[in-house]
Structure 1
Amino acid sequence: MSKRQSSKYKLDRRMGENIWGRPKSPANRREYGPGQHGQRRKGKLSDFGVQLRAKQKLKGYYGNISEKQFHKIYVEASRLKGDTSENLIGLLERRLDAIVYRAKFVQTVFASRQFINHGHVKVNGRRVTIPSYRCREGDVIEIRDKSKQLALVLEAVQSAERDVPEYIIADHSKMSATFTRAPSFSEVPYPVLMEPNLVVEFYSR
């Protein structure tokens, strides 16, 4: 379903981490970077390098969001009351593609984006084809009737690879999920360490 199969695995290799926690990730077998110089010892990153890496990792995790779109989300998060890093995560987790992925309707966030683009998802009874659509508290996300028996949906629902987080109530018998609230950073089930505070430092330089 995902058309970015090679891209996401390249990101895993470049970061040296299994960012999505997938069992087939090459980072599970090779912790060094890609290319003929990948096994050379890495030098110590500068503060800028550490911040850039944190931004690339977080941006990549949500399906390689474009830089323009990701920066726009940061600007909005910085204008909201409270901690900017918490606001940033809250806004990212409100995205429809993130919620469809968290609800286990598909197995990857890349597949989620394509699944939504193809018109398989409804929000509060209306079909939505925009992956970046921002959901509100209480919104009901469901799979269209014609799409409920798709093999990739049934496979994802039955997978024991990950659990549905507490801020989403999923009913897999009806193929629907309710987004109850924007989560705090500590509630988001990232398989690797994410550092949104470094992303904030990167953009606020």
Structure 2
Amino acid sequence: MSKRHSAKYKIDRRMGENIWGRPKSPVNQRSYGPGQHGQRRKQKTSDFGLQLRAKQKLKGYYGNLTEKQFSRTYDEAARRKGNTAETLIGLLEARLDAVVYRAKFVPTVFAARQFVNHGHVTVNGKRVNIASYRVKIGDVVQVRERSRNMALVLEALQSAERDTPDYIEVDAKAMSARFVRTPELAEVPYPVKMEPNLVVEFYAS
């Protein structure tokens, strides 16, 4: 099992939820946590515990971002006008690796990061290999021609496991996706409930 897969499954087990909605998640078989104490009776979680869990779940969903990356994104959301929780989701969804994942060019968000890092993607015709690159409204993200026949890409495009959200316009033939608008929390197709308001409380406390 690759390091990437084991990390992904470990996050699911730790959270006790199938956070990407994947059919092979170990949580589908057993919902308790990993390790020898995983089946112990759960104690009531404190407010801080709930906030921390919400942060870890959201951070894990986007490819297990580092604390530095995630807190930097939160700080930017907090500086902007409007609802910080909604802005945080909008900033996370505008990451280049998130757009590549949402467009179904690759099967997982972990694969999306690697795919971008290896230079398989262009933004408005220019190659970008930074997964955290912020896509703007109207930007066109495209798989480079020489990368379009990769097994990873073909498998993802044919998968019926998830749908492309309305805020991303995909042209499957050209293998391109246009970022139409910044989504609201309710529009983002999370397989499990995300609580960015608790994340805001975590950083504000």
CA distance in 1, matches of 2:195, 2:69: 19
The answer for unaligned runs of 5 or more in structure 1 is none
TM-score, normalised to structure 1, is 0.98
SS of the residue aligned with 1:4? helix
Corresponding residue for residue 64 of structure 2: 64
3-state SS of the aligned residue for 2:154? helix
Query: Residues 144-164 of structure 1, C-alpha deviation per residue, up to 9 Å, x if partnerless?
Result: 000001111011000000000
SS in 1 for 2:31: coil
Equivalent in the alignment of 1:135: 135
Offset at 1:4? 1.4
1:139 and 1:63 mapped to 2: Cα distance?
22
Q: TM-score, normalised by structure 2?
A: 0.98
Q: What's the CA shift for 1:7?
A: 0.7
User: After superposition, what is the alpha-carbon deviation per residue over 1:38-68, rounded to whole angstroms, capped at 9, x for unaligned?
Assistant: 1111101110000000000000000011101
Matched residue SS, 2:190: coil
Measured in 1, the distance between the counterparts of 2:40 and 2:79 equals 42
Q: Where in structure 2 are the equivalents of 1:4-153 lying within 5 Å?
A: 4-153=4-153
Distance in 1, matches of 2:96 and 2:72, equals 17
Secondary structure (helix, strand or coil) at the match of 1:55 reads helix
Percent identity, aligned pairs only? 72
Amino acid at match of 2:195: E
The amino acid of 2:13's aligned partner reads: R
List per-residue Cα deviations over 1:112-161 (Å, max 9, x = no partner).
00000111000000000000000000000000000001111011000000
CA distance in 1 between partners of 2:6 and 2:96 (Å): 23
- Output the CA distance in 2 between the equivalents of 1:154 and 1:67: 33
In structure 2, list runs of 5 or more residues that go unmatched.
none
Q: Structure 2: which amino acid aligns with 1:195?
A: E
Q: Tell me, in whole angstroms, the C-alpha distance in 1 between the residues paired with 2:3 and 2:181.
A: 30
How many residues are paired up? 204
Q: Is residue 3–residue 110 contact of structure 1 (8 Å, CA) maintained in 2?
A: no
2:167 pairs with 1:167: yes
Which residue number corresponds to residue 158 of structure 2? 158
Counterpart-to-counterpart distance in 1, 2:3 and 2:52: 25
Q: 2 CA distance for matches of 1:41 and 1:197? A: 27
Q: Which runs of 4+ in 1 moved over 2 A?
A: none
Query: How much does 1:9 deviate?
Result: 0.3
User: Given that residues 20 and 191 in structure 1 are in contact (C-alpha distance below 8 angstroms), is that contact kept between their aligned partners in structure 2?
Assistant: yes
Letter in 2 for 1:83: N
Counterpart-to-counterpart distance in 2, 1:79 and 1:54: 21
> What's the CA shift for 1:8?
1.0
Distance 1:25 1:160 in 2: 17
